[in-house]
Structure 1
Amino acid sequence: MNLDPTLKTLLTFAHPVLMWVLLGLTLYAMYLGIQIRRTRTADKDAKKELIQAKYNLRHHQISSILLAFMVLGTIGGMGVTYLNNGKLFVGPHLLVGLGMTGVIAISASLTPFLQKGNDIARYSHIFLNIVLTALFGWQAVTGMQIVQKILTAA
């Protein structure tokens, strides 16, 4: 497929930029989740103040955005790689990215159970998101290595 060089460049770097933004949002969502946990365990006066900050609503909103754009970013990254190279490079970066997409979907699917106070779901959600964040950090490093290869080849 022949793409305009400007569009091709834009598409090539859209995935890494989006993923760095999502990494930042992931850290923010984690902060909000910690604040929700603090709210749940706070004494009566502190709890009132923490509830007013609406950490639970913000956590759900940011997490919904993360889920949507993680899925779109994964598909987009694979699509751009295929458009630019006529094939996908099956390696750790691709496989971990696909795994991360599954992890965030599973984590989000626990929400109804979390809302009912299910502790197993809560600890599973926390564990999955810690794993997701660690993998995201690794992906950021390997993604920048891929960007460097693209820039060197250009």
Structure 2
Amino acid sequence: MKISFLFLAIVTASDAFVAPTNICKASLKPIESTVSTRIFSSENDQENFPIPEVPTDGSKSFNPLPAATVALCLLSSTAASAAGPDWGVFEGKTLSLLHPVMMVGMLTLSASTALLGFEWRRQRTIGDDISALKKQLPKLDGASSVSEALKACQSSEEIDSSQLARLKSALPIESEMKELQTERKTLAAKGPRDKHYGQGAILAFTGTVFAIEGPLNTYARAGKLFPGPHLYAGAGLVCLWALALLMVPQMQKGNDTARTVHIGANISGIGLFVWQLTSGIPILLKVWEKTSWP
């Protein structure tokens, strides 16, 4: 259909601007018949838009019929292009609702990843707390614990009252040290370091994918994007994820500044994520109202 329109447009356009002197009305009858069939759908249309008579005296003149045919072909082509492609399921309710569902899931994953990060930080720094408590202990005279040293002091023939008092005051410190050691073993068994890294990588990948999928889905449904808080928050969130990942190599080298930036970027990202979900609720309601299954 498009090829026939194009051919007809080329033929009639050449006839519109260069009319041979030997042209006759009879030779234009087939073209008039074809154009009338394509342009007018009823006799009423032909009465409202009559085809002008072609001069038979051999004189040159501008024939408006071919020009009208060219304009009709161009308008038909433009209208067909403006309709846009049919995206099918991509502009339906199924994939449109997949985006908000994934956003809620990724917010939950973000909170879980943050908790794992703090657990790994606790496991890594708890040794410093244990070392600080050890410095507060008195001399144990070869005993393995404060309790053992206290028993040895009490069973000796000559009791050193000052040493005995120091050992008794050190009992709470020893108890606290044992609690910290137990906590460190529990954290080590959970493996928060590897889990934190794995979930963070999944979050960065999935979040980037759906940050792109969201605008594409909107464009498939509406044919345009709607700049606003939701779109800006999503773009800023991806940038914060990238910043957090950028700090990882320096963190592995013991850079405390990189750790601070990493933690700050992730906490800010969670706050931005909550704002994005809030700003996306009106969009979700419109999608639910204006889209159909699937």
TM-score of the superposed pair, with normalisation by structure 1: 0.93
**Among 58, 72, 75, the residue aligned to 2:212:** 75
* 1:70 shift after superposition: 0.7
Query: Are residues 1:23 and 2:107 paired?
Result: yes
Indicate the SS of the match to 1:17.
helix
The runs of at least 4 aligned residues of structure 1 exceeding 4 Å deviation read none
Q: CA RMSD in A?
A: 1.6
Query: Do the aligned partners of 2:90 and 2:220 also contact (CA within 8 Å) in 1?
Result: no
Output the amino acid matched with 1:25: L
Q: Confirm or deny: 8 A CA contact 2:91 2:221 kept in the other structure.
A: no
Deviates more, 1:55-64 or 1:141-150: 141-150
CA distance in structure 2 between the partners assigned to 1:147 and 1:81 by the alignment: 11
Question: What are the within-5 Å matches in structure 2 for residues 127-142 of structure 1?
Answer: 127-142=264-279
Counterpart-to-counterpart distance in 2, 1:22 and 1:58: 15
Q: Which has the higher contact order (CA 8 A, sep 6+)?
A: 1
Shift of 1:6: 8.3
Q: How many residues align?
A: 154
Pairing partner for 1:112 from 249, 257, 276:
249
Q: Distance in 2 between matches of 1:83 and 1:4?
A: 9
What is the identity percentage for the equivalent residue pairs of Structure 1 and Structure 2?
A: 34
Summarize the Cα distance change of 1:33–1:62 in structure 2 as closer, same or farther, 3 Å threshold: same
Q: Does 1:143 align with 2:280?
A: yes
What residue identity is the alignment partner of 2:283?
Answer: I
TM-score, with length taken from structure 2: 0.50
Q: 2:97 aligns with which of 4, 10, 13?
A: 13
Tell me which amino acid in the other structure corresponds to 1:122: R
Distance 2:268 2:93 in 1: 32
Query: How big is the shift at 1:151?
Result: 2.4
Deviation string, structure 1 residues 82-136 (Cα, Å, up to 9, x no partner): 1111111111110110111011011111111111111000011111111100000
Which structure: greater helix fraction? 1
Residue 3 of structure 1, aligned match among 87, 94, 107: 87
Answer with 4-13 or 76-85: which moved more: 4-13
Q: Could you say what secondary structure the match of 2:92 adopts?
A: helix
Which residues of structure 2 form unaligned runs of 5+?
1-84, 131-179
